[in-house]
Amino acid sequence: MENEINMNEKAKVLVFLDTEDLMRIRGTVDYDAVFARIAKNGDLELLRDDAQTVNGYAVCGEERNAKLKSIIVAGENVQINVFSKKKGKFVPIDVKAEKGLLDLRKLISKPNKK
C-alpha cells in the first residue's frame, strides 16, 4: 500500500530562473505589474498590486513565460531555483502560487540563506 501512495504522488515541478529571467521580472515589477496569472485564453496576464486590475499581458520571452506559467499551474507543488550571483549557483527559494496568482516581487527578493 505504501508504494502505491508514493507512486500516485506528483513529483515537484522544478523551475530555474537565471539572471536574464530575474532582470526581466524585476523590470515587470518596477514598471508594469506585481502579480501574474493565466488568463482564460492561456496567455500570461499581468496585474497591478491590488491583484484585480489587469495591466496587460506578458508578450515577450516565451521561455520565461512558460516558466512562470508552470509555477502558477503547479501551485504549491513547485521548487523554484534562482541564480545567486553572490553564491555563483542556483539557490532554492520558498515561493508558492496561491489561488492562481504568482507574486512576482517574491521571485526577485533576496534568496533565503541556508
Q: Find where cell 506528483 sits.
A: 10
Tell me whether residue 36 is in a domain: yes
Beta-sheet strand order (sheet of 78-84):
13-17, 78-84, 89-93
The pLDDT of residue 9: 54
Tell me whether residue 4 is in a domain: no
Distance CA 72, CA 35 (A): 11
Tell me whether residue 101 is in a domain: yes
Chain mean position to CA 64: 9
The pLDDT of residue 98: 87
Tell me whether residue 62 is in a domain: yes
The total of structural domains in the chain comes to: 1
pTM greater than the 0.85 cutoff:
no
Tell me whether residue 3 is in a domain: no
Q: How many CB atoms lie within 10 A of CB 10?
A: 7
Tell me whether residue 88 is in a domain: yes
Tell me whether residue 2 is in a domain: no
Tell me whether residue 114 is in a domain: no
Q: What is the pLDDT along the chain (114 residues), one digit of tens a residue?
A: 444 444 445 678 999 999 999 999 998 888 888 999 998 888 899 988 876 777 777 766 788 889 999 999 998 889 999 999 899 999 999 888 888 999 999 998 865 554
Domain carrying residue 32: 12-108
